[in-house]
A and B are shown apart, each in its own frame.
Chain A
Amino acid sequence: MNDLVEVRAGVYHDSVSLMRVSQALTSRPEVAVAVVAMATELNVGLARDLGFELPPATPGDLLVAIRASSPAGLEEAAAELERQFAERVPAGGTSGTQAPPRTVRAAARAWDATLALVSVPGEHAFPEALDAIEAGLSVMVFSDNVPVEQEVVLKDRALARGVLVMGPDCGTAVIGGAGLGFANVLRPGPVGVVAASGTGAQQVTSLLDLAGAGVSHLIGVGGRDLSAAVGGRSTIRALRALDEDPATELIVLVSKPPAPEVARAVQELGLSTPVVPALLGPGQDDLTAATEKALRALGRDVPEWPSWPVPPGVAPGPAGHAALRGLYSGGTLCTEAALVAGTGEFTDFGDDEYTRGRPHPMIDPALRLEAISAVESGVVLLDVVLGHGSDPDPSAWLAPAIAEAGARGVAVVVALVGTDGDPQGLRAQAARLNEAGAAVFTSNAAAARHARLLLSRAGG
């Protein structure tokens, strides 16, 4: 066999960069399989399963395992590997001779920052986040799998320092217009958002932007913040901070229904800025309705949310056995759609069980494409989330899949979450999805209602 196996000690690259390298190698015709990853137990096991013989390695080492169809092919692949790594030499510090900092602590000493963004693997996030807090910086912890005890410690220390912890598992924040993580391009405006749900916050802020209202800041707090264990520590801090912010005239709080004692604590804050809750759950307003409430509270008109219905005759209504299949990338959007539709089988592909060891579905469509092609009849409802960090052109893969589904008699409804400023282009994406035969809605709730309507028309 033409195998190249190498363990490089003390070389570190983040998992996303390594996935890109692996993908670049695998896409070469002469390469059968390529594993370029940190030598964690998981990755070593993976390479062994592929039949590679590995020398001993620790998780701090870089593992390279390539199998090619010929010795020449292997040589070319090895050259490509080096080229890829040469491109990925850390860009790092500002001056050529100065080595880049190795911890957030060192970075904060050398450079005047306003916040830190931590996305190292969750088991290692705590020290970096704590560094930021001790340096007097607010910190967004994008990493997931951070133990809840560490979250509480971080949030308590932050409170003592007068800074804020966004996260862990905080997917989105927009601070002074700067999108951190997955975030839409938002115009500045009077609405401050505090969110324990990433995609929920993206839905609310995108609608606010579409309505011309704009957003002062979107502060993520992490999915667990309003649980009894964390007690809303960051939510309360964020609400108070926005209450003081002269640019914020109204606050929207996006969350699953909080633990009762936490809800009480939030209510008893006595803020001078009005707070509109968008608490997703049975009997609550959906996110669109909550957004509309916020707009009315500001004295603004509620627009008709942009949508692109299927022109009659372009695609057939659902035929045969009519069932609803929800294929989501955003957890909150998935929950909302299931609540609004009241029927159907929903899958959140952003859930941990689908993202372990692979990219998030907001970036990698493979799993959802597979799921779409498996639907034989009825209605498919799915979300497409635009903005920073997301797939640069989702309609490129989705439009053909929609057209094929249409040909099978499957109706497709898309909740398209995004703004006119987003790099992917909201209207261009909508047009392409619509041309392929999908009904497209900027409101997820409207999309879910439309899907239900299609079902009832089909008598399902």
Chain B
Amino acid sequence: MTLSMLYGEPRVITVGASVLEEALDRQAVPQTRVDWRPPLPGTSEALARVLADPRREQANATAVGRLLSARPQLVGVRPAREVLGLEPGTFFHAGPPITWERASGPMRGALIGAMLFEGLAATPEEAEGRLASGEGVALDSCHHHRTVGPMAGVVSSSMWMLEVLDAEHGGTAYCSLNEGLGKVLRYGSYGPEVVDRLRWMGEVLGPVLAATLEVTGPIDLRSLIAQALQMGDELHNRNRAATSLLLREIAAAVVEAAPGRAAEVLRFVNGNDHFFLNAGMAAAKVSADAARGVPGSSLVVAMARNGTDFGIQVSGLGDRWFTGPAGVPDGLYLGGYGPDDANPDIGDSTITETSGLGGFAMAAAPAIVRFVGGDVSDAVAATTSMYEITMAEHPAYQIPGLGFRGTPVGIDVALVARTGLLPVVNTGIAGRVAGTGQVGAGLVNPPVEAFTAALTALAAA
């Protein structure tokens, strides 16, 4: 029953009235002041209830512990129809569930492209008509199927998927193959070059990578991501180091597995700095999924956008989505594009931030700080502020510039409400009009109401 504060020099954390802090100063009592602000409006009752939940502390420790201990490994590349049971006419998409009516331009464009790719329509007009009528077409969220997809994130039955296994907890997650930059399906383009590339990916890239992984065996993505962070990637808007590392891992095996196709496959991967993004997203997804379903936990296990809504899921609240309107990113624009051309935020790639990468690891990626609005000190400030709303620091993912401190991991809905600090999200920007493609990249603010709604639900749970 010893009370440690009674022994030794008092050292005080103060929060609140400055008169009391000044009185301690005059007594030469060492203190740290908290820069406190009121919580998000209307949340104090829900906060008190959520924080008082006797399960919370252990539940959060369990949930974030699983997120941190996941050991994602790339184990295979397989067609969606095979691994996800995806029938022609059924499409998965990024973000929370959405209907054609509410879908934004790039989401519609990607769905049109997928219809063309699957041979379910001969022309874009026909595809659009089928999608609008809903006849023989079904849409569902990728996240409902252990899957994530960047930007529009549209997955159809003939696409080949990266398969990532969590060697620690046994879960599996999937992500499509990255198409590269320029006119691509994920940004809502559906022209002939887009469909042709998807065909090549289905006929050549997918099977060659599948054969390659037979040769290499499982590739340890946890260690690859950890190395890439130390080489200047944040694994969302910069994947250059990770892509290079992956290429090194597989190059010899590609040649062994498919000597006739090796050059074109390696050239394709080498030509796309974001090739690793999709593997990183599947790794993040399988890690976050390990943390799902812990009753009482306020840990965010998914953040995703469909171009219209920004949604989150919380470990203690099952598969429910809590949404708010997707914001328009603030960033740099390509060519003659500007903010007016930008679509609201879209894609499942926020799974990287959910697992402590991307915007949360900005301080690791000085090369792209201008891209996302500032200088190195802004990047450090962005990462540092995320420690305020996260439960843990990642034991393997470390940031050299912060003295190899672990990245901030595990967003706590309650801490978001208390501090009013929203997750920092790095993102690409899609054009508003279907078929435009990428117009820029930058930072985006998630909607506050997604977090306050989740908090309210936790308080009632």
Contacts and interface: CB of A to CB of B under 8 A. Distances in A.
State yes or no: do A and B touch (Cβ within 8 Å).
yes
Interface of A: 10, 12, 14-17, 38, 58-60, 88, 90-94, 97-121, 123-124, 126-128, 130, 132, 134, 137-138, 142-143, 147, 150, 153, 162-164, 175-176, 178-181, 216-217, 237-238, 240-242, 244-245, 363, 388-389, 423
Contacts of A241: 1-3, 6
Interface in B22-55: 23-24, 26-27, 29, 32-41, 44, 47-48, 51-52
B384 interface: yes
Most buried by A among B3, B33, B414: B3
Contacts of B387: 106, 109
Interface of chain B, helix or strand or loop or mixed? Answer: mixed
B235 to A, nearest CB: 24
A107 B34 contact: yes
B12 A60 contact: no
Contacts of A123: 44
A17 B36 CA distance: 13
A178 B418 contact: no
A176 B388 contact: no
Contact of A113 (B12, B18, B35): B12
Contact of A179 (B15, B23, B44): B23
A334 B40 CA distance: 40
Contact of A103 (B2, B34, B48): B34
Given A102-B34, A128-B15, A134-B57, A176 B1 contact: no
Given A164-B3, A244-B1, A120 B35 contact: no
Contacts of B34: 100-104, 106-107, 128
Please tell me the size bucket of the interface on B: 35 or more
Contact of B388 (A58, A101, A363): A101
Given A99-B381, A103-B418, A388-B27, A16 B17 contact: yes
Contact of B38 (A12, A93, A138, A162): A12
A100 B34 CA distance: 6
Contacts of A389: 19-20, 23
B16 interface: yes
B334 interface: no
A142 B20 contact: yes
Contact of B5 (A100, A143, A175): A175
Nearest to A12: B37
B460 interface: no
A206 to B, nearest CB: 17
Contacts of B57: 134
B16 A132 contact: no
Given A12-B38, A58-B41, A115-B12, A181 B20 contact: yes
A447 to B, nearest CB: 26
Closest 10 CB pairs of A and B: A119-B16, A241-B3, A12-B37, A100-B35, A388-B23, A116-B13, A119-B17, A120-B16, A178-B10, A138-B5
